[in-house]
């Protein structure tokens, strides 16, 4: 199945799933119908490719808006066009950010679309006869459903995790919300279900050919279990999962001339939307050391305030996660468990790293600070801010490490959690929670 046909099938299904009732139906003879997409292995694998595209391509996709929302809320990025009120309100945060913000709404909408489309894979996978192909489709659906729920949990206090069928929606049912801790637990449980499926039946060669292996499901599943477990305070689970992730097998989103790197194309190419901040936006004890090789990698040139890294061109790949995130998870878990010497060993793997599969290297001396839990945790936070720059993780990191919040002096984040988009409140008024103050 060629990519063009896959994307057409996905777009056709998207229109069918989101259309309102009307008196006439205009049929595109070149597009697959919803029934055709959902009733065959080829159609479902095409939908899987479309789900990945919805997440990772375009200015309305979840990936782009995760990077922008997180970056502007945590001083990683700055708005270059001050007339862009939508981005300016994200950068100002606090009371300036409200439910009408379209960039924030795009993140919410794309994540919920991915969750809904992933559920379509799961609900219809029984039509697939081959066990390996079925396993790949189901694991892919579970993975992206969990990714959507976990990502939303980084930005909002409560998250709608259920998917409402079109019939139930027409009958007036709307999704309920779960507190983020419960939502993260659900995301982790979904990922563990996916892990069990691919351990029982490895994805088939047919699935790998048609959907691709750019995302290594065995590794990506464990990486997200580690990430979401850490966010939810499940330290032992985070450490166990991080230890299962290969440091050399990558999971990335790839781009081409048609499906372009969205952060470069929609955020950086014009030099008139957003830009990086000198020293990653870090000051004082958190400021990077002058010799840190990640400064030119991520910030570029001699101005040291650009945003480059994985966003230099339309064709740059964007990692789903960096293998070094797993090392930093291990360091943080060990430090929080007061195993300071062991935490420093993991920390030094980041500081002294001279080679890396994604070319993110610090090339610094080993840690020489105080060997106390507060000092080592601060260094781990600093290394996360630099190593994982523009990965969409800093807002959660900032809260988890107890850094100065929006109402503190010298705040490092301008919101604790985001308000709920009007697009949700207007259509789900009974269930949408009250907005947090900040």
DSSP, residue by residue, 316-338: --EESS-HHHHHHHHHHHHHHTT
**CA gap 230, 290 in Å, rounded:** 30
pLDDT of residue 6: 42
- pLDDT tens-digit readout, 381-404: 999 999 999 999 999 999 999 999
Q: Which residues contact 275 (CB under 8 A, 6 or more apart)?
A: 77, 78, 80, 268, 305, 306, 307
Say if 237 falls within a structural domain.
Answer: yes
pLDDT of residue 304: 66
pLDDT of residue 302: 60
Q: Which residues contact 413 (CB under 8 A, 6 or more apart)?
A: 73, 74, 75, 93, 394, 395, 398, 399, 403, 404, 405, 406
Say if 239 falls within a structural domain.
Answer: yes
Structurally, how many domains does the chain consist of?
A: 1
φ/ψ region of 228 (left if φ > 0, alpha if ψ in -120 to 50, else beta) reads alpha
Global pTM reads: 0.94
Say if 242 falls within a structural domain.
Answer: yes
What are the start-end ranges of the E strands in 74-176?
77-79, 158-159
In the block, residue with structure tokens 């708005």:
79
pLDDT of residue 395: 98
Rounded to 5 degrees, what angle do the CA atoms 51, 106, 166 make?
A: 60
CATH code for the domain in which residue 80 is found: 1.25.40.390
**CA gap 388, 385 in Å, rounded:** 6
End-to-end distance of the chain based on CA atoms, in angstroms? 47
**Low-confidence residues of the chain: pLDDT under 50:** 1-9, 11-12, 14-30
In the block, residue with structure tokens 């990191």:
397
**CA gap 302, 8 in Å, rounded:** 44
| Mean pLDDT computed over every residue of the chain | 93
Say if 186 falls within a structural domain.
Answer: yes
pLDDT of residue 354: 98
Say if 197 falls within a structural domain.
Answer: yes
Structural domain of 244: 39-203+210-403
Say if 131 falls within a structural domain.
Answer: yes
HSE-up (13 A, CA, CB side) for residue 120: 28
Say if 432 falls within a structural domain.
Answer: no
pLDDT of residue 7: 43
Say if 413 falls within a structural domain.
Answer: no
Helix (H) or strand (E) holding 209: helix 205-211
pLDDT of residue 4: 41
pLDDT of residue 18: 42
Q: Which residues contact 235 (CB under 8 A, 6 or more apart)?
A: 229, 333, 336, 337
Q: Decide: helix, strand or coil at residue 77.
A: strand
Q: How far is the CA of 308 from the CAs of 157, 228, 350, in angstroms?
A: 31, 27, 20
Q: Report long-range pairs for 87-91 (Cβ below 8 Å, ≥24 apart).
A: 87/273, 87/274, 91/414
């Amino acid at each position: 199945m060629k990519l063009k046909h896959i994307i057409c099938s996905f777009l056709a299904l998207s229109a069918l799933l989101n259309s309102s009732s009307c008196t006439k139906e205009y049929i595109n003879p070149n597009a697959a119908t919803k029934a055709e997409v959902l009733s065959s292995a080829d159609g479902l694998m095409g939908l899987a490719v479309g789900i990945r595209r919805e997440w990772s391509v375009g200015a309305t996709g979840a990936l782009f808006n995760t990077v922008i929302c997180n970056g502007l809320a945590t001083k990683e990025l700055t708005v270059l066009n001050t007339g862009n009120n939508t981005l300016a309100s994200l950068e100002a945060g606090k009371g300036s950010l409200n439910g009408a913000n379209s960039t924030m709404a795009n993140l919410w909408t794309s994540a919920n679309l991915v969750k809904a489309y992933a559920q379509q894979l799961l609900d219809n996978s029984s039509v697939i006869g081959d066990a390996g192909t079925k396993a790949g489709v189901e694991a892919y659906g579970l993975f992206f459903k969990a990714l959507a729920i976990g990502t939303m949990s980084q930005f909002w206090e409560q998250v709608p995790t259920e998917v409402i069928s079109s019939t139930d929606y027409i009958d007036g049912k709307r999704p309920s919300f779960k507190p983020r801790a419960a939502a993260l637990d659900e995301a982790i449980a979904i990922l563990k279900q996916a892990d069990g499926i691919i351990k029982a039946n490895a994805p088939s060669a047919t699935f790998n050919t048609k959907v691709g292996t750019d995302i290594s499901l065995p590794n990506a599943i464990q990486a997200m279990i580690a990430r979401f477990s850490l966010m939810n305070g499940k330290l032992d689970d985070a450490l166990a999962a991080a230890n299962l992730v290969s440091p050399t097998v990558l999971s990335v989103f790839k781009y081409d001339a048609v499906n372009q790197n969205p952060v470069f194309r929609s955020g950086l190419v014009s030099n008139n939307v957003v830009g990086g901040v000198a020293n990653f936006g870090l000051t004082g004890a958190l400021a990077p050391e002058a010799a840190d090789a990640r400064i030119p990698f991520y910030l570029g040139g001699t101005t040291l305030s650009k945003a480059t890294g994985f966003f230099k061109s339309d064709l740059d790949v964007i990692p789903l996660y960096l293998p070094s995130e797993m090392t930093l998870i291990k360091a943080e878990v060990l430090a929080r468990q007061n195993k300071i010497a062991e935490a420093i060993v993991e920390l030094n793997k980041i500081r002294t790293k001279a080679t890396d599969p994604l070319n993110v290297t610090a090339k610094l001396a080993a840690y020489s600070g105080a060997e106390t839990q507060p000092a080592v945790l601060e260094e781990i936070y600093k290394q996360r801010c630099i190593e994982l720059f523009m990965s969409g993780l800093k807002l959660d990191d900032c809260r988890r490490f107890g850094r100065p919040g929006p109402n503190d002096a010298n705040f490092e984040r301008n919101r604790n959690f985001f308000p709920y988009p009007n697009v949700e409140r207007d259509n789900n008024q009974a269930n949408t929670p009250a907005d947090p103050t900040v």
